Amino acid sequence: MEFFEAVKKRYSYRGKYRSSPVARGDLQKILEAGLAAPSGCNTQTTSCIGLDDPELIRSVGTLIKSSAVTVAPAAICVLTQRKPGYADVYFNVQDYAAAIENMLLAITALGYASCWIEGQVTGDPKIPAEIGRLLNIPPEYSVVAYLPVGVAEGEGKRPRYKPFAERAWFNGFGKN
């Protein structure tokens, strides 16, 4: 899929997934896309765990209270480390956000669907702690997001975007 087509087709899919597996090679490509994202001061604070073991996916999925977490055949746990880039400036949130967007675009380009799940992961500190225990994540890493990955069973609800002229301008705010 061409890049701009993937950008336009990407949306948060909250439906059911087909049972067909996600190829390990595709899952690796998605993870590599995430790790290729820019990182403030090259601190590389984002790490990821690809999940394709159905039992692990079920175990992690039961912890996350989201209708978007239906049993997808694969998933990605996004981790971060809080390290200063320079002085007392931290970029880990920007780093993992850029990594997630890269992965969501790769997921779309490969013909899969996903949804960025963060609030239902980080809203209760017990959830990331339990995911960390299940996946043997060292304490210096924080679980910050979960991306189910699979072939969509149906067409999901796509968002409507405001017109370009209401959100983007040239050479000054509100100028077109």
Overall pTM > 0.85: yes
* Percentage of the residues of the chain whose pLDDT score is greater than 70: 98
Residue 122: inside a domain, yes or no? yes
- CATH number of the domain where residue 46 is located: 3.40.109.10
Question: What's the CA gap between 61 and 135, in Å, rounded?
Answer: 13
Calculate the average pLDDT of the chain.
Answer: 93
Count of the separate structural domains present in the chain? 1
Q: In this structure, are residues 130 and 93 in contact, taking their beta carbons and an 8 Å threshold?
A: no
Residue 86: inside a domain, yes or no? yes
Here the tokens at position 118 are 């963060």
- Asked if the model's pLDDT at residue 86 lies above 90, the reply is no
Here the tokens at position 146 are 């979960």
Residue 174: inside a domain, yes or no? no
Q: In this structure, are residues 121 and 145 in contact, taking their beta carbons and an 8 Å threshold?
A: yes
Query: Given pLDDT bands bounded at 50, 70 and 90, which one contains residue 154?
Result: confident
